[in-house]
Amino acid sequence: MACYDAPRLRIVLDYRPALRQRTGVGHYIHELAAAMQAQLPPGDALVLFSSSWKDRLRADAVPGAEHIDTRVPVRLLNLAWHRLEWPPVERFTGAVDVTHSAHPLLMPSSGAVRVVTVHDLDFLDHPERTEAEIRRDYPALAASHAARADLVVVVSEYSAQAVRTRLGVPEDRLVICRPGAPAGPVGDATVHAGPILFVGTIEPRKNLPTLFAAYERVVAGRPDAPPLVLAGRSVEQSAAIMQSLAARRTLAGRVRYLGYVSDEERRQLYLDASMFVLPSLEEGFGMTAVEAMQAGVPVIASNRGALPEVVGDAGALVDPTDDAALAAAIERLLANPQERVARAEAGRVRARLFTWSATAARLLDAYREALARRHEKGHAGVAGC
């Protein structure tokens, strides 16, 4: 047992993924920051760190938190941090107790407890699915950074098991902090005749070509099928994915790609949709599935990665490599309004299991536990401890 008073905390959180066009990581960091700030006791401080040449951190991004906005290009700082582990973040922030990276690679520090986040390990098995900077650094460095981190945050039991076995991180340095359901109105379990919806980055692991093939089957058997709507950020591999759609001439005019949408637009898409489909080959969690369930949208999801853990029996789980099975699941929901209502209601109930307040409380406890471990190691053998 520690023999000292719990220290006041000054926590630096890497807020850069939340600056613009937030993907799952950006939403996770923003919501986590807001929930932690709401729970910090007097005297503790949350510091949002950002660096970008052109994108500025809004002073009201998370009210009550400190905001440090540096005009350093993201790629330049990442190259220095990942490859040289310099400069320490204290050069920008002053003294801190905890540094928390939004990704698997450490934020350099001159003395703070260091925390990394691992959402999934797809970059180890399929680096070709990732962007250039991730291909360059993550596969080569993630294991050594995880070994030196004081704490490794994961977002699901699926990711925790992968980190235990693939990166060798022991149980006492792992903490599962699942994302929460989004704030805002909860949808009802009403049957909508709206679009079949996909929300997510247009990237290879989302497996959109299989969704296109499945939707083509649906349209062939049901010409009155609702349109397929895609919403999400484009990356370097998106062009090839959209070219695969253009090659399916029978789908011309039936699929709409909206690009990146705002939080308000995304919520309305869920509320209008007849169903949500997430056929990913790999997900460390699947935040959009929780968003859809909370909105009262029936969910069809892949049976891979963490999605079975997240969706449970509230949604229909299918093999993401089987476009016929995916088409059959879509057709079943279109043909059976009662099943859609049942799936929607089950999803709303399941979404209540995921709260940002619980996630933030668990993470703040884990920070303090990591600080206590470091303190005890530093005072091993000292009389009275």
Mean pLDDT of the region 108-135: 95
Per-residue H/E/C for the chain: CCCCCCCCCEEEEECHHHCCCCCHHHHHHHHHHHHHHHHCCCCCEEEEEEECCCCCCCCCCCCCCEEEEECCCHHHHHHHHHHHCCCCCHHHHCCCCEEECCCCCCCCCCCCEEEEEECCCHHHHCHHHCCHHHHHHHHHHHHHHHHHCCEEEECCHHHHHHHHHHHCCCHHHEEECCCCCCCCCCCCCCCCCCCEEEECCECHHHCHHHHHHHHHHHHHHCCCCCCEEEECCECCCHHHHHHHHHCCHHHCCCEEECCCCCHHHHHHHHHHCCEEEECCCCCCCCHHHHHHHHCCCCEEEECCCCHHHHHHHHCEEECCCCHHHHHHHHHHHHHCHHHHHHHHHHHHHHHCCCCHHHHHHHHHHHHHHHHHHHHHHHCCCCCCC
pLDDT in tens, 338-360: 999 999 999 999 999 999 999 99
Is pLDDT above 60 for 379? no
Give the pLDDT of residue 381: 38
Residue 77 has pLDDT above 70, yes or no: yes
Q: What is the pLDDT of residue 280?
A: 98
Between 104 and 3, name the one with better pLDDT: 104
Q: Who's near 96: CB < 8 A, 6+ residues apart?
A: 10, 11, 12, 47, 89, 90, 109, 112
Band of residue 188 on the pLDDT scale cut at 50, 70, 90: low
276 in Cβ contact with 289 (< 8 Å): yes
Q: Which of 238, 236, 242 is nearest to 228 (CA)?
A: 242
Percent residues over pLDDT 70 in the chain: 95
Q: Are 297 and 273 in contact (CB under 8 A)?
A: yes
Output 79 or 7, whichever has higher pLDDT: 79
Half-sphere exposure of 194 (CA within 13 A, CB side): 18
More confident residue, 4 or 29: 29
- pLDDT at residue 7 greater than cutoff 60: no
pLDDT digits (tens, 9 = 90+) for 42-61: 999 999 999 999 999 999 99
Average pLDDT, integer, range 294-310 = 97
| Residue 382 clears pLDDT 60, i.e. is over it | no
User: Of the candidates 349, 318, 321, 346, which has an alpha carbon nearest to the alpha carbon of residue 332?
Assistant: 318
Bridge partners for 269 per DSSP: none
- Over residues 209-266, the pLDDT tens digits come to 999 999 999 999 999 999 999 999 999 999 999 999 999 999 999 999 999 999 999 9
Instruction: Pick left, alpha or beta for residue 115 (phi over 0 → left; psi -120 to 50 → alpha; otherwise beta).
Output: beta
Q: Per-residue pLDDT for 87 more than 60?
A: yes
Q: What is the mean pLDDT of the chain?
A: 94
- Rg (the chain; Cα; Å): 22
Look at residue 380 and tell me whether its pLDDT is greater than 90: no
Query: Is domain 196-351 given the CATH code 3.40.50.2000 in the classification?
Result: yes
pLDDT at 5: 47
pLDDT band at 375 (very low <50, low <70, confident <90, very high): confident
Give the integer Cα–Cα distance in Å for 98 and 58.
22
What six digits make up the tokens of 325? 């099975």
**Residue 144 — very low, low, confident or very high, per pLDDT cuts 50/70/90?**
very high
**Nearest CA-CA partner of 198 in 305, 284, 281, 273:** 273
Give residue 8's pLDDT.
81
pLDDT score recorded for residue 193: 84
Distance CA 374, CA 187 (A): 45
Separation of alpha carbons 211 and 232, rounded Å: 15
Q: What is the mean pLDDT of residues 287-316?
A: 97
Residue 93 · residue 47 · CB < 8 Å: yes
The answer for 235, left when phi > 0, alpha when psi is -120 to 50, beta otherwise, is: beta
Considering the chain, tell me which residue range(s) the CATH 3.40.50.2000 domain(s) occupy.
10-180+355-378, 196-351
pLDDT band, very low/low/confident/very high, at 385 (cuts 50, 70, 90): very low
* pLDDT surpassing 80 at residue 190: no
Phi then psi for residue 113, to 5 deg, are: -60, 135
**pLDDT greater than 70 at residue 152:** yes
Gap between the Cα atoms of 27 and 7, Å rounded: 29
The percent of residues in the chain predicted with pLDDT above 90, rounded, is 91
Half-sphere exposure of 312 (CA within 13 A, CB side): 14
Q: Using the predicted structure, report yes or no on whether residue 191 has a pLDDT greater than 90.
A: no
pLDDT of residue 182: 86
Amino acid at 381: G
Backbone angles phi, psi at 88, to 5 degrees: -65, 145
155 burial level (CB within 10 Å; 0-12, 13-18, 19+):
buried
**pLDDT at site 206:** 98
CATH number belonging to the domain at 10-180+355-378, selected among 3.40.50.2000, 3.40.50.720, 3.30.310.80, 3.20.20.410: 3.40.50.2000
